[in-house]
Structure formats: structure tokens, C-alpha cells
């Protein structure tokens, strides 16, 4: 996944540049297109692993580009729009988009969503399970288990706790600021930093009870980190 090729289709140069930098920082290869025609040309010749596709584009709009991509195959697509209208979102998803992001967005969230979509679309089952120490996180089954030899102990997590764990597991041993976790894992609400602390406290207690609490640690002056530090 780290070497996946991402096609960013965005006519606003500043937004395109920001997304390109964030994806490259996380180890992805990136190519860009500023209009729908160039996007389809890149898609046909270079076969990207995922497309981040703006809705409003010169020459061919995003929905037209998406329809053509779907005629060609099943390349994962994340639609990006300035319209927060639920009907517009529904239209995009019914047209075959794998996910949907509304401007203004945090680029960290876009990268996190891209990782999740790539995992879901992967045909290799081993790529769908994230492993941190004895912790196994299955985004498809929406399940987290602690593995100990032949035994597998499932964890009972809330939807938000699962989101946080899945997101952090995609970047093992990296320190996350609280605001970054809010943007990536709690985007639908007006969450505060102390809300993250509350979720983390409950998640740590559940991990402690399962014997893997040492995987989740606070980072003084920053936020939190998930990794196998043993």
C-alpha cells in the first residue's frame, strides 16, 4: 500500500499541491491532473491504485470522469466537493464512488480515508488485517482481536474506538496530535481535544484488560502513539 500510485484530480493548484505533499510524505507515489480529460488520459495510461477526484472540473466534471472510470474497471475513487448537500453525496456514492470528502477538509483525513479504501479494495486478505504486536485489526470485518498463540480474544469497542485504533494502526509508532485524531476519526461532530482524551482513556482500559495496554501510549506535549515498543 505504501507504494500505491494516487491520482489527484483537482483544478485548484493550492489544494492539489497540499494533497500531493501529504500523500508523498506518507510514502505514496502521486500524479496530478487539473481537468477531467487529463485525468482520464492518466487513468488509462498509468492505471493508478486510487483516484482523489474533485467534482467541479474544467472540460469534464467529476461525475463524468467517475462514470468513465467505472466503465473501465473498479479503480477506487474518493470524490471531493465543496457541496455539503446530502443529495450530492448520495449521487456520488450511487455513481460508484468509494468515499466522499467535503471541502474544506484536513489533508490528513483524506490520506487516512485513502488508506482505508485501499485496504477494503485489496484482493489480498492479508493486506486487510493490520497487526500491531499481538493486536489484529480487521477493517472489513470491523473486528479487533488480541492474539496469544492459538487463542484469539475479541475486543468489544465502540464505533469511535474502532475508528481511532484502525487509523493509528495505519501509521504505527507515529505520534498523533489530538486535533489530528479529531479530524480523521470524529469528523461528523464538534469534538474537542478532551473528547479524544476520554475515548483514549476508555480504549486504554480495554487494551489493558486484554493484556496489550502497553501498545497505546501518551506522548508528552503531543498526543498519542500506537505501536509495539517491546
Mean residue pLDDT of the chain comes to 85
Q: Are residues 154 and 98 in the same domain?
A: no
The pLDDT assigned to 84 comes to 60
- Are residues 15 and 115 located together in one domain of the fold? yes
Which of 87, 122, 157 is the last residue before a domain boundary? 122
The answer to whether the predicted template modeling score (pTM) of the entire model surpasses 0.75 is: no
Pick from 37, 40, 46, 8: nearest CA to 24: 8
Instruction: Please enumerate in sequence order all residues whose Cβ is within 8 A of that of 180, keeping only pairs 6 or more positions apart, or say none.
Output: 106, 108, 223
Cell of 155: 475486543
DSSP state at residue 18 = H
Considering the domain architecture, whether residues 36 and 113 belong to the same structural domain is answered as yes
State the total domains in the chain.
2
Whether residues 90 and 137 share a domain: the answer is no
Residues 80 and 189 in one domain: no
| C-alpha distances out from residue 97 to 62, 128, 133, Å | 10, 20, 34
- pLDDT (tens digit per residue) in 41-50: 999 888 899 9
Domain that residue 118 falls in: 5-122
Residue 139 has pLDDT above 90, yes or no: no
Q: Specify the range with the lowest mean pLDDT, choosing from 20-29, 75-84, 153-162, 183-192.
A: 183-192
> What's the pLDDT band for 98 if we cut at 50, 70, 90?
confident
The pLDDT value recorded for residue 135 is 92
| Helix residue spans in the chain (DSSP H) | 13-25, 36-46, 62-72, 86-94, 107-121, 159-169, 178-185, 193-209
Q: Is residue 61 located within the same domain as residue 97?
A: yes
**Averaged pLDDT for residues 132-138:** 90
Q: What is the SS3 assignment for 160? A: helix
Question: What pLDDT score does 120 carry?
Answer: 79
**Between these two residues, 172 and 183, which has the higher pLDDT value?**
172
How many degrees, rounded to 5, is the angle at CA 36 between CA 31 and CA 41? 60
> Residue 59: which CATH number?
3.40.50.2300
Model pLDDT, residue 22: 94
pLDDT value at residue 159: 82
Amino acid at each position: 500500500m505504501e507504494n500505491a500510485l494516487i491520482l489527484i484530480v483537482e483544478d485548484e493548484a493550492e489544494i492539489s499541491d497540499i494533497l500531493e505533499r501529504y500523500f508523498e510524505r506518507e510514502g505514496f507515489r502521486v500524479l496530478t491532473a487539473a481537468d477531467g480529460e487529463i485525468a482520464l488520459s492518466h487513468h488509462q495510461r498509468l492505471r493508478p491504485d486510487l483516484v482523489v477526484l474533485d467534482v467541479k472540473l474544467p472540460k469534464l466534471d467529476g461525475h463524468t470522469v467517475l462514470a468513465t472510470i467505472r466503465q473501465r474497471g473498479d479503480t477506487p475513487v474518493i470524490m471531493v466537493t465543496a457541496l455539503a448537500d446530502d443529495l450530492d453525496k448520495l449521487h456520488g456514492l450511487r455513481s460508484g464512488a468509494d468515499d466522499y470528502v467535503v471541502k474544506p477538509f484536513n489533508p490528513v483525513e483524506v490520506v487516512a480515508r485513502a488508506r482505508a479504501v485501499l485496504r477494503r479494495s485489496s484482493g489480498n486478505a492479508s493486506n486487510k488485517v493490520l497487526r500491531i504486536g499481538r493486536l489484529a485489526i480487521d477493517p472489513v470485518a470491523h473486528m479487533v482481536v488480541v492474539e496469544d498463540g492459538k487463542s484469539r480474544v475479541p475486543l468489544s469497542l465502540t464505533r469511535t474506538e474502532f475508528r481511532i485504533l484502525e487509523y493509528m494502526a495505519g501509521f504505527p509508532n507515529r505520534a498523533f496530535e489530538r486535533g489530528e485524531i479529531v479530524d480523521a476519526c470524529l469528523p461528523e461532530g464538534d469534538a474537542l481535544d478532551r473528547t479524544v482524551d476520554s475515548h483514549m482513556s476508555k480504549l486504554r482500559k480495554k487494551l489493558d484488560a486484554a493484556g496489550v495496554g502497553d501498545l497505546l501510549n501518551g506522548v508528552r506535549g503531543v498526543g498519542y502513539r500506537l505501536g509495539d515498543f517491546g
